[in-house]
Structure 1
Amino acid sequence: MTVAKPLPHDAAHLHVTGQARYVDDIPTPKGTLHLAFGLSSIAAGRISSIDLDAVRTAPGVVGVWEAKDLPSDCDCSPSAQDEPMLSGATIHYLGQPIFLVAATSHLAARKAARLGQISYAERDAILTIDEAMAADSRFEDGPRIWEKGDAGEAIDTASRQISGVIEMGGQEHFYLEGQSAMALPQEGGDMVVHSSTQHPTEIQHKVAHALHLPMHAVRVETRRMGGGFGGKESQGNALAIACAIVAASTGRPAKMRYDRDDDFMITGKRHDFRIEYRVGFDDRGVISGVEFEQYTRCGWAQDLSIPVADRAMLHADNAYHLPNARIESHRLKTNTQSATAFRGFGGPQGMLGIERVMDHIAHNLGLDPVDVRRANYYADEVSGGQPPAPAAPPRSLTGKMNEQDIASRGSEELVTNTGATEAVAAQTTPYGQVVEDFILHEMTDRLLNSAGYGARRAAVLGWNAGNSVIKKGLAFSPVKFGISFTLTHLNQAGALVHVYQDGSIHMNHGGTEMGQGLFQKVAQVAADRFGVPLEMVKITATDTGKVPNTSATAASSGSDLNGMAVKAACDTIRDRMANHLASLHQCDAREVVFADGQVSVPGETY
């Protein structure tokens, strides 16, 4: 099967020879303008005065735009329409774009953007979690709380209790290719946008909104990105909108890319968290109750902070059964860059909280942390482990649990290893999902044995006992991670497949290529469905003019969603071919075989 072969990346030879084209490599038409933002030098306040005369008269400058010069609010937000491209009078974070410069070269635009004379009425900025809590600066009316059982009572009555706090900072995505976009004006006011983005449809939507155009007048193309990691899910919006505004205003192509220093200043990072916890457990380390308070520093605009914070809550249990749990989440608004999607999308932060709890329990009891973790796993259905006693049904104090609320869940059924179906109180996560097919016990056994964990741990303990300064460590952590989007309707994809007269296949789908090899994987699906060699299949750039209304390539879902969309499209065409040949040869369509680059029916091969 072609689909099962570990093949090289489809553009590997282009990558290593430098021939792979990214947005900044696309040959620009004559007269292309280059853009840069003028940035704020304070974190919070209002603009008292602004003088851009020196910017307008700088060498190579063609145009300068302030917020009042734009055709619309030019909103860049993926969610709450709270993120204008240019600040207007109010400054929300250090490095916020205030004005836009178009010049004849990238360097001229950057130099000119630093010549603006701006005076501010500065105010105290809210920068930290503590400052945001003191000011009650948040994106929701209060904390979001999910509960299962009575965690407070379980902790108070446990034989042992601990409490603690862990703080984790944000991260810069540091994709090798920075943010970039180019807009090419078309006849009739239409616009073509090349963007380094994980979400071409969102770019299309935002550009159309900014220009007061229907979405059919904007076409967005993305051939590849030099890395994304979530940082190009929404953060490319501002560049694409800026290019489109300038292109529409001047009738000239417009291009923008952030140098690394501007990228660091303007774009959002991973959300930094503080997680406080209180835990009750027994002498074996088995948790009877846990309380988490998660504080999320979201930045100045909402961006994707609400679902990120939700996912941190969803992963607060990681791979462990928590019979009584209370998870409280604060989504805090601060005068910093708007934190955004980053690999794991809140999941790593939530998992780090419970992993810290496991290590704290192990230290408190003097046990091997692996033993404490295993003692708290969900019960192993495969080996016949019995689920714990039922806890009170989960509930949400805000009424906002998840898109699929647990209200639809009645009594559960669990299939045991005997094959019999018994009505039992199934194990559930703190958010109410029934845990099935839990095989982490067997996986842990195999991993620890193959890694030689026991011998390596003994060696580490021996080293540490004999060395007072340099210490070694050895850690093990399980992961139970939910893929796909928590907003259910985003779990969809589309594909466009052409089969030509010579048997070659041309294909587009809604996913974007950012180095993960998605195009090759999806091409393998098509080759497999038609029974042809892989070289007969070509996938070209992701294009909103070919596959509309796509979801972002994110949430570990790109291969699954787009691969199945291509499979469905290929099967539709293949079935039409089979039915036609069956009617010609008066045979059953199931007798038509697609294999080895040929189509065969009884007695004939095409």
Structure 2
Amino acid sequence: MRKLTTQQLHQRAPSKIIGQSIAHESAAKQVAGEALFVDDRNLPEGSLHAAVITSPIAKGRLLELKLDQLKQHPDAVAVFTADDIPGHRDIGPIFGGDPLLCEGEISFYGQVLAVVVARSHRQAWKLAAWANQELVTVEAEQNIVLTAQQRGDLSDPQSLVRPSHIMGQPISQAQLEQSELVLSGEQQVGGQEHFYLEGQVSLAVPNEDGGVLLYTSSQHPGELQKLIAEVLNIALHRVDVDMRRMGGGFGGKETQAAQWACLASMAAIHTGKAVKLRLPRSVDMTSTGKRHPFYNRYQLGVTKQGLIESAKMEVNGLCGYSPDLSDAIVDRAMFHADNAYSLNQAEVVGHRLKTDMVSHTAFRGFGGPQGIMLIEQAMQDIAVAKGLDALDVRYKNLYREGHATTHYGMPVEQHQDLKNLLQQLEENANYRSRREQIKQHNRQDQLIKKGLALCPVKFGISFTAQHLNQAGALIHIYTDGSVQLNHGGTEMGQGLHTKVQQIVAQTLGIPFDYVLVTASRTDKVPNASPTAASSGTDLNGMAAHNAAKELKQRLLDFAQEHYQVSAEQISIADGHVLIGEQSIAWAELIQQAYLGRVSLSTTGFYKTPKIWYDREQAEGRPFYYFALGAACCEVSIDTLTGEMTLDQVDILHDVGSSLNPAIDIGQIEGAFIQGLGWLTTEELVWNGDGRLLSQSPANYKIPSIGDYPKQMNITLFDQANPEHSIFRSKAVGEPPFMLAIAAWCAIYDAVSSISEHQLPAQLDAPATNERILMACQRQFAYLESKHE
């Protein structure tokens, strides 16, 4: 034990790990190519590879699979169909309707019909390609439904994958017409391919207990464990799922990783060999779900000042052939149809349309972006109708005192903070002076038109399925003082493990590198919720914090008894233990505690407080808090070609007290660019027979460096979360995605400037060059008609 001087004691203020821009825990390994993903693992001797045979039609019947020819091929080790499934055949995550393998009825182009297993990846996929071309006989139906307009009667349950839902109160046409102005609008909002860098992949290794160890790229290992056990007809404890890191997920690996995991596991059990199934990019894009396309409509009753008095809103999610997560996704679109604005009296209806395409699924924002798009278009439309600046319309309609309750009955407690954030960004971005400069430019330049928009975001944080708002963690302290941490969240590049590592180090009072986060595993933390809904750090960070607090208290209690001092005389900081005027190393305390028979391992648990939602009454508090943000975007469009450039982006985003500013800013930047892709370049195209045409990087355009803003400024809104979240931080994964809606609104503004904002822009999303050009042509046609 070392005695400290008075000066040393005063100088020993603990280092702050929370709030520091510590590098991502895998950054160096990923840059060096040393970080292991599933496809990098050395395979057990004798491992096999699987490939899938898929449907060549979108709707119809499977008449024949000539499996005998396939089985006789010298490269084929085994072939499996639905008849080879030992247990459950439906892997729907919540509701049924997702067959693991086709059983006769074909529901979408690319549906898996059978699995072929060979000794190499190349052999397996060559066999699958041959089978697709030569060995599959199908009967196609002609009435393929791909759009909301084709869907027809929504009162027919056969038109929907789940029943429709209503929030708020019914609004009649007579009630709308009591206002001085009744506005209406509609929009088509396209879907989006996840385009994760690492595609869908699973490696299943059979074990001696008749179960499997699965290495996978999944956001929900707990669900995979359950589904694999059900498919194999074995107990859950015979299935272990290991998930160290993903090369991106974005929601596409929340439920959609399950099919490939189950197929690999089934093949492993049948063959007795390890089996890996990795999808080529074209198959991945064809056979897995996307962000839901939406068709939205609104009617608003508006005062002459541009204030919304009543709203009748309808969101229609195009769900594909099965429910998947569509019920909750369309619900979230409905929850966010207000964005940051008081609708006063409102009726929000959500339909879940059945279409003859792959079942769409979770994607960053989980329906929220599609709902926010509707009200933000309405803000632009009101501005044109009333001759106002769209920012002023937004200010008028913001949640405010006396008008601070959502259409589902949740109070917006931070409404003043939201206004303050907008005002701060307006000033920082020089919005008013730039607006005048843009007006002057547009009067002088007939070819290049500029647009400007400043839009807020209010995004609810929590799973809307209440039971998912829970998390667990496991911490071991070893006798050398090193700490191993495991929690139920999954790392997909977002920095979750880094933040939770910071949380545990800060809580215990030890340096960051004393803590190691290991792979997410179902045999360490059971029954974990998916890493989704922006809640990864909120849930798992708090669970790990609770575990670390318990361990730290055990150690402090031991030290108090061991050294016969009061609790006030003991503290732990920077890996040292202060005991009165003495100091010992952290590792020394751990050794003493071990010899004193103190348990150095514990679990932590957390469940989100305050949240509830009565879906029958469509009211409650589904979110613990709202994340806030705003973006100001300036664009230029070429009215002869429709080409668009993003000239400047200014973002002010609320992450509460940031756990790691560098990671948070990186998440904001990445989310904005991904949102920009959704709204400007990423266009999903199906042909008339239901085949996805945009199924490769050659014909699906994610943003490139050329699409990046010429100038981009990101600032964190410096204010702690008023709710008791982990170290008063706020979620950052999904909310900044919706900041890109400001870019779409700026394009709308530029297009409408052609008519000097007399005609609203008719601009569906994504606002590709072609759509921008057509919107410009409608503006020119309007001007010509006025001059006739």
Match of 1:225 among 231, 246, 252: 246
- Structure 2 Cα separation of the partners of residues 486 and 200 of structure 1: 20
Q: Which residue in 2 is equivalent to 1:356?
A: 377
Among 388, 405, 411, the residue aligned to 1:434: 411
Aligned counterpart, 1:422: none
Q: CA 1:226 to 1:459, structure 2 compared with 1: closer, same or farther past 3 Å?
A: same
Task: Identify the match of residue 155 of structure 1 among 153, 176, 180.
Answer: 176
One-letter amino acid matched to 2:102: S
Q: Distance in 1 between matches of 2:162 and 2:560?
A: 64
Secondary structure of the structure 1 residue equivalent to 2:350: strand
Q: Aligned partners of 1:589 and 1:82: how far apart in 2?
A: 59
Match status 1:236 vs 2:257 = yes
Q: Are 2:48 and 1:33 aligned?
A: yes
5 Å-filtered alignment, 1:153-552, equals 153-379=174-400, 386-388=401-403, 427-438=404-415, 439-552=417-530
Q: Distance in 2 between matches of 1:166 and 1:314?
A: 18
Secondary structure of 1:188's aligned partner: coil
Q: Secondary structure at the match of 2:263?
A: helix
Contact 2:162–2:327 (CA under 8 A) maintained in structure 1: no
What is the distance in 1 between the residues matched to 2:66 and 2:144? Answer: 24
- Tell me if structure 2 keeps the 8 A contact 1:154–1:288: no
The answer to whether the 8 Å contact 2:162/2:323 transfers is no
Q: Tell me the TM-score normalised to structure 2 length.
A: 0.70
Note the C-alpha offset of 1:591: 2.8
Higher alpha-carbon deviation: 552-561 or 74-83: 74-83
Match of 1:81 in 2: 96
- Does the alignment pair 1:127 with 2:146? yes
CA contact (8 A) 1:40 1:94 kept: yes
TM-score by length of 1: 0.91
Q: Is the 8 A contact 1:39 1:96 kept in 2?
A: yes
CA drift of 1:483 comes to: 1.2
Q: Check whether the contact 2:63–2:137 (CA below 8 A) recurs between aligned residues.
A: yes
Identify if the C-alpha distance between structure 1 residues 59 and 260 changes in structure 2 by more than 3 Å, giving closer, same or farther. farther
For residues 436 and 281 of structure 2, the distance between their equivalents in structure 1, rounded to whole angstroms, comes to 45
Cα gap change, 1:70/1:25 in structure 2, threshold over 3 Å: closer, same or farther?
A: same
1:149 offset after TM fit, Å?
Answer: 6.9
SS at match of 2:532: coil
- Whether contact under 8 Å (1:32, 1:253) holds in the other structure is yes
Distance apart, 1:603 and its partner CA: 4.4
What is the CA-CA distance between 1:499 and the residue it aligns to? 0.7
1:48-127 superposed matches below 5 A: 48-116=63-131, 117-123=135-141, 124-127=143-146
Specify the code of the residue in structure 2 equivalent to 1:503: G
Do 2:50 and 2:275's aligned partners in 1 also have CA atoms closer than 8 Å? Answer: yes
Shift of residue 76, structure 1, vs aligned partner: 2.6
CA contact (8 A) 1:146 1:327 kept: yes
Q: How far apart, CA to CA, are the structure 2 residues paired with 1:45 and 1:144?
A: 30
Unaligned runs of 5+ in 1: 380-385, 389-426
Q: Is the 8 A contact 1:457 1:474 kept in 2?
A: yes
Contact 1:74 1:241 in 2 (8 A): no
Q: By how many angstroms is 1:140 displaced?
A: 5.8
- Aligned-pair CA distance for 1:307: 0.2
- The structure-2 alpha-carbon separation of the partners of 1:142 and 1:570, relative to structure 1 and needing over 3 Å to count, comes to closer
- Tell me which amino acid in the other structure corresponds to 1:599: V
Q: Which amino acid aligns with 1:508?
A: N
Separation in structure 1 between the aligned mates of residue 162 and residue 370 of structure 2, nearest angstrom = 23
Report the Cα offset of residue 17 of structure 1. Answer: 0.8
CA-CA distance at 1:367 after TM superposition: 0.9
Q: Match for 2:255: what amino acid?
A: S
Between the aligned partners of 1:140 and 1:24, the Cα distance in structure 2 is 35
Question: Which amino acid in 2 is paired with 1:526?
Answer: V
Percent of aligned positions with the same letter in both sequences? 42
Matched AA of 1:451:
A
Number of residue equivalences: 562
| Secondary structure, aligned partner of 1:482 | strand
Describe the shift of the 1:591–1:149 C-alpha distance in structure 2 as closer, same or farther (beyond 3 A): farther
Whether the 8 Å contact between 1:313 and 1:350 is mirrored in structure 2 is yes
* Residue identity in the other structure for 2:137: S
Q: Deviations over 1:74-118 (max 9, x none)?
A: 433211132111111000000000010111111111111122222
User: 3-state DSSP class of the match of 2:460?
Assistant: coil
Residue 40 of structure 2 corresponds to residue 21 of structure 1? no
| 59-68 vs 513-522, greater mean Cα deviation | 59-68
Distance in 2 separating the partners of 1:283 and 1:341: 40
CA contact (8 A) 1:182 1:195 kept: yes
Residue 567 of structure 1 corresponds to 545
Contact 2:218 2:254 in 1 (8 A): yes
1-structure distance, mates of 2:229, 2:173: 51
DSSP-derived class of the 2:360 partner: coil
* Contact 2:171 2:312 (8 Å CA) reproduced: no
SS of the residue aligned with 1:293? strand
1:542-578 deviation per Cα after TM superposition (whole angstroms, max 9, x unaligned):
1111011100001111011111111100111111111
Q: CA deviation at 1:287?
A: 0.5
Q: Which residue of 2 aligns with 1:395?
A: none
Alpha-carbon distance between aligned partners in 2 of 1:74 and 1:288, rounded to the nearest angstrom = 50
Displacement of 1:295 after TM fit?
1.1
Instruction: Determine if contact 2:313/2:348 at 8 Å carries over to the other structure.
Output: yes
Instruction: Give the drift of 1:67.
Output: 1.1
> Secondary structure of the equivalent of 1:107?
helix
Structure 2 segments unaligned to the other structure (5+ residues):
1-15, 585-788
Residues 499-539 of structure 1: per-residue CA shift (max 9 Å, x gap):
11111111100110000111111111111112111111101
Aligned equivalents of 1:115, 1:23: Cα separation in 2: 27
The one-character-per-residue Cα deviations of 1:305-341 (angstroms, maximum 9, x if unpaired) are: 0000000000011000111111111111111010000
- 1:7 maps to 22
Instruction: Give the whole-Å Cα distance in 2 for the aligned partners of 1:58 and 1:276.
Output: 55
SS of residue matched to 1:62: strand
- Closer, same or farther: CA 140–338 of 1 in aligned 2, 3 Å: closer
Amino acid across the alignment from 1:482 = G
Alpha-carbon distance, 1:141 to partner: 6.7
SS at match of 2:451: coil
Give, as a single letter, the amino acid of the residue that structure 1 aligns with 2:233.
H
Contact 1:101 1:109 in 2 (8 A): yes
CA 1:142–1:16 in structure 2 vs 1: closer, same or farther (change >3 Å)?
closer
Give secondary structure in 1 for the equivalent of 2:471: coil
Native 8 Å contact 1:44 1:93 kept in 2: yes
CA distance in 2, matches of 1:52, 1:559: 48
For 2:437 and 2:246, locate their aligned partners in 1 and report how far apart those are by CA, in whole Å.
44
**Equivalent position amino acid for 2:148 in 1:** I
Deviates more, 1:433-442 or 1:368-377: 433-442
Aligned runs of 1:133-148 on 2, under 5 Å?
133-134=152-153, 136=156, 137-139=158-160, 142-148=163-169
Aligned partner of 1:600 in structure 2 is 578
